[in-house]
Structure 1
Amino acid sequence: MAKPHPFFLVLGLWLTSLLPLAAAPALTASHKAAYQELLKLRVGAARAMLRPAQQQDGNEAANLLLANYADFLELCVVQDQRHLEQLLEAQEARLDALEKLPRKEWRDYALAEVHMQVAMCKLLFGNRLSAAWGFRKAYLQYSDNASRYPDFIPNRKNLGTLQVLIGSVPDQYKWFLNIIGLKGSISQGMANLQRATSKANPFYQEAQLLQAVLLHMTAQDKEEQALQQITAMAARQQDNLLYQFVAMHLLKKSKRGEAALQVYLRRPGGKAYLPFPYLHHMAGDLYLFRGNYQQSVQENRLFLEQHQGKHYLKSAHFKLHLAYALGNHKPQAMWHLQQVAQVGFDEAEEDKYAARYAERQEPLVKPLMQARLHSDGGYYHKALQELAQQQLNAATPQAVQAEYYYRKARIYHGLDSLRQALPLYQQSIALCQGTNLYFAPNAALQLGYIYQQLDNPKQAALYFKKALGYKGHEYKNSIDAKAKLALSAM
């Protein structure tokens, strides 16, 4: 049910830019130590370590770049609007300083990275037009770097990441990318990234982390490989909050709710790390999946108390509504449902869904919701038990019937009972005719995946195209992106 945190979408972009710097001959011990702290999201310690390095001659590009990561990470993770202007001004000043340095591969690389980081901060805080031009500057700089320094591996990582991300943008946004001159290719981007995952590269583990993120996003059949890569890295560096976050996120997206929750419970903490309230919101979902409603309430309350941004506020109140409603606390459930319309932005799909749900004021069908939540966490047998409580008859609303068959199909699909899932998905699609319910497009997407597994590419392509044809549903962007990625990989 959750959309990735905005910080997660740029994880690879800033991560890969950090890694090669640790091996640069001109770096001081302070630089190397600061790099390790930044990678763990211990920004305060990193800033303290960078001060001695900034007083030494040379290293100007490294000084500016590493200092910029601290501001960038603070804005993306903490999302405190009060510090936005100050931190953005500092980043713009670093861009000016980099422009004045002599052209070298590290200077040009740092320039591209800071452009990217400034653009991401602006996008996160709603300045889309300025962000778009920042992305364009960064992309053009990366492309120029690739021509000037073809053997410079760090640039291959970042350019490849951008190519994959741009190549996976839904069709309705392609016109804008064409206007600002950005073109992506998933296959080309993954090829660039693959070059950096060789063990000949001393930073191949970090490259593999980035590869895991992108594989999970773009290749349905590589999910297990992606999960194995990231969970191994998180296990090896248990004091690295970044690795724990990525592992938790990918496990949650893969319906491994129990494993994701264990990562959350073992995560490092304390004042040394950046405050990361979004982790509480993720944990709120994981406890909902389990059916632990009191713990889910506690986690989302912590999120609302600590979060300084505007994203996921609607979603948090919606999840509180669900936890209270499923726990039979109706007054609290209604209060939080009313709050959905009063707070935050509705840009993320999770927030959009919460806003539409609150606006429709439809009655909660407990067996269906509980089945959905258990299924989202990978608790499939519990989900079937809940679904068995839902009785269908001639008076059952069309939307409830459509969701019933869709949920049952997803459960059997999760249990790898493909032949049982197929007719259930098809029945859900038939029941959605004349509506904009998202069950139909997602059922079509899942049927495409099933026919891929059954080695029937013709039927798979038919259903992926069918998924793209649905209009006006809550998950249009993500479903279209997944269908398009599947088609491009065939």
Structure 2
Amino acid sequence: MNNPVYKILGKAGLLACLFLLPAGVVAQDFTLSEHERRAYALALNLQTTEAHALIPSPKTVSEHYVTALAEALELLVTEDPEKYAEYESRFEKRLARKTKTSSVDELFLQAEIGLQWAFVYLKFGHEFDGALNLRQAYQATQEIKKRYPKFTAIHKTEGLLDVIIGSVPEKYNWVLGLLNMEGSVGKGMATLESFRHSNHVLAFEADVLYALTQGFVLQQTGPAMQEARVLLEKNPGNRLVLFLGASLALKNAQSEDALAMLLKINEPKLGVPLSYAEYLKGEVYLQKAEYLNAVSSYRWFINNYKGQNYIKDAWYKIGLCYWLNGNTSDAQATFAQARTAGKEVAEADRYAARSLAETELPHVKLTRVRYFTDGGYYTRAQEALATIATDELVTQRDQVEYAYRQARITHKTNNLTAAREFYQYTIDLAGDAPWYFAPNASLQLGYIEWAAGDLEKAKEYFTRALTYKRHEYKNSIDSKAKSALAQLNARR
């Protein structure tokens, strides 16, 4: 998990979880027929079976593109191991279409399917194959830019690649050098910005990619959520846009908004069942302290999802719901089941495994405060925090977490003076203990100083966040700190 190749692809891991939306296929002489446009729209609405029905045996480049998109989206949504082998074989046959005399359309297809499968491979745990396909997509993009400089459809692909590659930390630049790739976050975002404001037929897709990269690569969740709201106003029924909006809302502590979107995603009963949406509904209900609803959503996810990611965490969260609801016996039985369920690849599953290995169960009141805060229920979080007496904080971990929860609430309610004090107190009190409270406190102080314009102090905090070892959320906190440092260094 710590190898350089994974670090490169890791910058785009959440994009894979959100079903990467690749560039479409129309610019200059690359066109879609009417039935291809219908199939394309169905694929982007996650109605992949219906899309395949319109193009049962692809022959042209554009038909192959639409079919490949539908296949990649289906795999990213379902993690279906049976479909994986079948679709990988089709992908390899499409790769073999490239020749020295390939047209610009063929080259564009190569760039797009390479990018699609970089994320498919990452989703299925094949990091090295993912890196090779990212490089293939990059090379095809560069060839188009050189041979066909007026082929505007490639700008979306180029922009996304620039952001992904440009956000890789400087210490891994040697890997990019070996792969002969270079990128720039600023240049990539500018390319997407320009393209999405054009009159190009793919401008809508550029809007989606722009919101995705803002929220999940650059960690600018507030502006990303604003972009998502605009997209939702223009495309209220699109399931991919609803999922994007719900995911950003959850990330931005707007769980009520997320729930409203999640309830609509599977409502029409069309297209690929988005089982992961039920997992996210479970997250919202847990944050709201609606524990029976949360258990129901998590169980539906476990029973219907074909992949293995988030299964362990879902079982752990079911046990946690029982624990928070005072049902100790069911909690203990479910925790025992969670220990042997699923995998430990996704960070949520690794955190669940670590929590399940602890001898002490989480502090009930502090845990409620945590989830109220995560969901944006700040008044309930403050009320719950006020009920905790000092003598209830028996362990050092509980004392550190209490300070950290105060920091999070004051930060979220924009009391930055108090937030700075509580974050610093968290860091001092935690020392080098292997919990995520101090590293995330450092990260959040970095964001506060960045917003205040003190870039040097921000860099110090982001760098400090990277120094903590073996804590629960090391991958995500390190990724956010490295992304922030990359953006700050790009300003020099």
- Partners of 2:392 and 2:35 in 1: CA distance: 72
Counterpart check, 1:107 vs 2:113: no
Quick check: 2:18–2:244 contact (8 Å CA) kept in 1? no
Q: Distance in 2 between matches of 1:171 and 1:302?
A: 43
- Counting only pairs closer than 5 Å after superposition, residues 125-274 of structure 1 correspond to structure 2 as 125-169=124-168, 176-219=175-218, 222-274=220-272
Matching residue's letter, 2:21:
L
CA RMSD, Structure 1 to Structure 2 (Å): 2.5
1:416 aligned partner, one-letter code: N
Letter in 1 for 2:194: R
Residue of structure 2 equivalent to 1:17: 23
Q: Structure 1 residues 5, 356: CA separation in 2 closer, same or farther (over 3 Å shift)?
A: farther
Give 2:317's aligned residue: 319
1:28 aligns with 2:33: yes
In structure 1, what is the Cα distance between the partners aligned to 2:380 and 2:444? 21
Contact 1:34–1:47, Cα closer than 8 Å, also in 2: yes
Structure 1 pair 22–325 and aligned structure 2 pair: CA distance change class (3 A): farther
Amino acid in structure 1 at the alignment position of 2:215: H
Q: Which residue is equivalent to 1:82?
A: 82
Would the aligned equivalents of 2:31 and 2:62 in 1 still touch at CA under 8 Å?
no
Q: Deviations over 1:411-436 (max 9, x none)?
A: 11000011111111111101111312
- CA distance in 1 between counterparts of 2:439 and 2:50 reads 48
> Which residue number corresponds to residue 5 of structure 2?
none
- 8 Å CA contact 1:31–1:49 kept in 2: the answer is yes
In structure 2, the CA distance between the partners of 1:119 and 1:451, relative to structure 1 (3 Å rule), is closer
The 1-side partners of 2:291 and 2:28 are apart by: 48
Is 2:39 aligned against 1:41?
Answer: no
1:477 corresponds in structure 2 to 475
Q: What is the aligned-residue identity percentage?
A: 32
SS in 1 for 2:339: helix
Shift of 1:390: 2.0
SS in 2 for 1:229: helix
TM-score scaled to structure 1, two decimals? 0.91
TM-aligned CA deviation for residue 196 of structure 1 = 1.0
**Residue 225 and residue 363 in structure 1: after superposition, are their counterparts in 2 closer, same or farther (change >3 A)?**
closer
Q: Which runs of 5+ in 1 are unaligned?
A: none
Aligned to 2:451: 453
Q: 1:470 to 1:215 in 2, by over 3 A?
A: same
Structure 1's 22 and 154: CA in aligned 2 closer, same or farther, altered over 3 A?
closer
| Superposed displacement of residue 31, structure 1 | 0.6
Counterpart mapping for 1:52-91 below 5 A: 54=58, 60-91=60-91
Question: Partner residue of 2:440?
Answer: 442
Give unpaired runs (5+ residues) of structure 2.
1-9
In 1, distance between residues paired with 2:306 and 2:71? 16
* Structure 2 Cα separation of the partners of residues 174 and 244 of structure 1: 36
Give the counterpart letter for 1:400 in structure 2. Answer: D
Inter-CA distance 334–383: structure 2 relative to 1 (3 Å threshold): same
**Bigger CA drift: 34-43 or 65-74?**
65-74
Per-residue deviation at 1:303?
0.2
Cα gap change, 1:335 to 1:174, in 2 (>3 Å)? farther
